[in-house]
Structure 1
Amino acid sequence: MARSMLKSKNLPKEFWAEAVDCAVYLSNRCPTWSVWNQTPQEAWSGYKPSVSHLKVFGSIAYVHVSDQQRKKLDDKSEKFIFICYSQESKGYKLYNSVDKKMKVSRDVTFDEKSSWDWTDQDKEQYVFYPIDTDRKKVEEEPIEPVTPSSPVSPTQLSPSSSSVDSNCVKMFDDFKKEMAKEFEMTDIGLMSYYLGIEVKQRDDGNFISQEAYAKEVLKRFNMENCNPISIPIEVEYKLSRHVKEGPIDRTLFRSLVGSLSRYMENLITYHFKVAKRILRYLKGTIDLGIFYPTSGDMKLVGYSDSDWARDVDDRKITTEFIFYFGETAFTWTSNKQSIVTLSTCEAEYVAATSTVCHAIWLRSLLKELNFIQNESTQIYVDNKSAIALAKIPVFHDRSKHIDTRYHFIHESIAKKQVQVKFVKSEDQVADIFTKPLNRENEGLRIEKRYQTFSGRQLQKRGVNSRALEFTISQSI
């Protein structure tokens, strides 16, 4: 029976197991001489099974794609082959010959009279050369579709916006020669500009900045000739929704600080003054950027901090973290949480948990890039009570009311994925994301602190000073 089912729909022998499974499923729902006036399924379960859901084995099935999983112009269904009935749910077991994956679904429309044509190519897959090519020629003369007999790894990247990275110069040169045989190419040398980022490649590392973009922002708001400052916001600045001042142009303010920032509804003149001060800070740090050295310890290190009850409107905390890979900071964030904590210990504990979650993801990402972290990732926190609370998985008066999801840090420490350590407040590099600086000389002290931890040299290398600008703008 299984052999006949495969032959009737021209399916390969690889589906013999599914064919046998489907044959047994149908036999149990058909009359038999072994059980009088009943089907085997009815004799076993005690109820008469329904046959309204039965479909022809090997027929074409079109699975509906929900609105959340597709774009507006994408197809509303995907083409599959019906191969079996699911034993775990009331659905059909389907096979996609394009990505070679199985799927179980009930939202299916069947074409039982058709069968899969294995000689037809499911989809044409084009390979785009990711350097500077004659784009018109590439689009008009696509490479031949990939066939099963010639397995390759297609690179679906835009020819005008991508680059090829290689640590082996000889391999890179050979690659360019082979690609030059197929395309009209122009060797534009070392990359100097990529997606709005200026790149300066040196023997000891690469330096990236956004000086041109920063100048464009200053020009857009007529701040090219403003007086530069060294800190973005003063300590006496208290942002609130309830300050009684005149309203401002909402569109202008949103274009300055971004649509995802705070205070987007009740805008007043005071908010715009703070935003313009950030532009003055940007003017004073316009030539700074990030330096990635070619050598150094490829070790992941994180710093976690929090801002307890500084929001004068709802007293909710803001958590921040920054991660270093070697000597350079490469990811950071500052997010306002949806909870109100009762102490600085709780605030630091919640911030540390958020940092640990991000550290687990970064360790997985680095593992895929072959930068395996064999040791525990060190997370530095400047609150000893929060560290003790994280290391001792015991519920007491200080932690019994904290949401369960914030206790994820206990398991990560037990598995030795992370290690929480204490750092002094003056050495807490995430501190710059949490609060305004005290005065101008305090700003210089922070600059030196970042030079120590990131190896920054002013006007040449360092931590992205615009990170501070973006963080403060997110709090507006």
Structure 2
Amino acid sequence: MFGNDISMMTSVKLWLSKTFLMKDMGNASYILGIKIYRDRSRKLIGLSQSLYVDKVLGRFQMEHSKKGFLPVRHGIHLSKSMNHKTPEAVIQISRIPYASAIRSLMYAMPCTRHDISFAVSITSRYQSNPGSEHWSAVKTVLKYLRRTKDMFLVYGGNPELLVEGYTDSDFEYDVDDRKSTSRYVFILNGRAIS
């Protein structure tokens, strides 16, 4: 629970404790693997998934890789034509946990890592038949996460609610289907929320 009315929160906790078996454990420090940082004096709250990112990097043997500067390398345009066609190459790429890596990235993306959403949306298109270039693009995202794993989202500090929205589109970005791609970001008090 959270809120500004302490007396109301106390009465709700009292009612809940009479209705359900519960224990008040104080302030939450983790929720679903997300670390919560608080700075009450400046009215800030921060969210971090650094432990989750460490687990993901370990699962895909990327914990000692080079640290990436960007989640997507400039000028990379993935397509279905980059898939492997020979039976030997298909067997080799089937040993790579491509779909598992994409799922791991998709878990972090909506919670605290909005910065990788474009890269994940591009690489997730090729889960059924990835090629080595596709896997290289996923490893680029993992390298970027290695460099930025200790960063976290910070909310608060401004008493007014200021919502901003931005959008971008690219005509025929998808090389395979020639479909347009559009993206958006909504910002609340200077922090990305969607």
Amino acid at match of 2:94: D
AA paired with 1:257?
I
TM-score by length of 2: 0.76
Which residue of structure 1 lines up, in the alignment, with residue 118 of structure 2?
none
The letter of the residue matching 1:249 is: S
Q: Paired residues, what number? A: 168
Shift of 1:215: 0.9
Indicate the SS of the match to 1:262: helix
| SS of equivalent residue, structure 1 residue 296 | coil
Q: State the Cα distance separating 1:214 from its structure 2 match.
A: 0.9
Offset at residue 187 of structure 1 (A): 2.2
Which structure has more helix as a fraction of its residues? 2
| 1:252 maps to 2:97 | yes
Whole-angstrom distance in 2 between the partners of 1:241 and 1:183: 54
Distance 1:267 1:314 in 2: 17
Q: 1:282 is paired with a residue of what secondary structure? A: helix
1:274 aligns with 2:137: yes
What SS does the aligned partner of 2:142 have?
A: helix
Please name the residue that 1:325 is paired with: 188
CA contact (8 A) 2:48 2:151 kept: yes
Aligned to 2:33: 196
Distance 1:297 1:329 in 2: 16
Alignment of 1:212 with 2:75, yes or no, is: no
Determine the structure 1 residue equivalent to 2:173.
310
CA contact (8 A) 1:250 1:267 kept: no
Paired letter, 1:172? M
AA of the residue aligned to 2:32: L
Say which SS state the counterpart of residue 242 (structure 1) adopts: helix
AA aligned opposite 1:213: Y
Say which of 167, 173, 178 aligns to 2:4. 167
Aligned to 2:114: none
After TM superposition, the structure 1 = structure 2 runs for residues 81-96 of structure 1, keeping only pairs within 5 Å, are none
State the 1:168 CA deviation: 1.0
Q: What secondary structure is seen at the aligned counterpart in 2 of 1:324? A: strand
- Evaluate the alpha carbon distance shift between residue 249 and residue 167 of structure 1 in structure 2; reply closer, same or farther with a 3 A threshold: same
Cα pair 2:83 2:129 within 8 Å, conserved = no
The Cα of 1:181 is off from its aligned counterpart by: 4.5
- Which structure: larger Rg? 1
Q: Would the aligned equivalents of 2:83 and 2:132 in 1 still touch at CA under 8 Å?
A: no
Q: 1:181 to 1:310 in 2, by over 3 A?
A: closer
Pairing 1:241–2:80 present: yes
Q: How far apart in 1 are the matches of 2:69 and 2:9?
A: 43
In structure 2, how many angstroms separate the alpha carbons of the residues matched to 1:317 and 1:292?
Answer: 33
State the match for 1:176 in structure 2. 13
After superposition, the C-alpha distances for 1:409-454 in whole angstroms (9 at most, x for unaligned) are: xxxxxxxxxxxxxxxxxxxxxxxxxxxxxxxxxxxxxxxxxxxxxx
Q: Kindly tell me: are residues 295 and 236 of structure 1, through their superposed partners in 2, closer, same or farther at Cα, counting changes over 3 Å?
A: closer
Q: Point out where structure 1 has 5 or more consecutive residues left out of the alignment.
A: 1-163, 332-476
1:60-459 to 2 correspondences below 5 Å = 164-181=1-18, 183-203=20-40, 204-243=43-82, 245=84, 246-247=89-90, 248-249=93-94, 252-258=97-103, 261-331=124-194
How far apart, CA to CA, are the structure 2 residues paired with 1:304 and 1:181? Answer: 49
CA contact (8 A) 1:232 1:281 kept: yes
Aligned twin of 1:435: none
1:294 to partner: Cα distance: 4.5
Q: Give 1:240 shift.
A: 1.4
Q: Deviations over 1:269-298 (max 9, x none)?
A: 111111111110000010112111053331
Q: Do 1:297 and 1:327's aligned partners in 2 also have CA atoms closer than 8 Å? A: no
**Root mean square deviation of aligned Cα:** 2.3
Alpha-carbon displacement from aligned partner over 1:321-365 (angstroms, at most 9, x marks no partner): 00012222100xxxxxxxxxxxxxxxxxxxxxxxxxxxxxxxxxx
Higher relative contact order (CA 8 A, sep 6+): 2
User: What runs of 5+ residues in structure 2 fail to find an aligned partner?
Assistant: 107-120
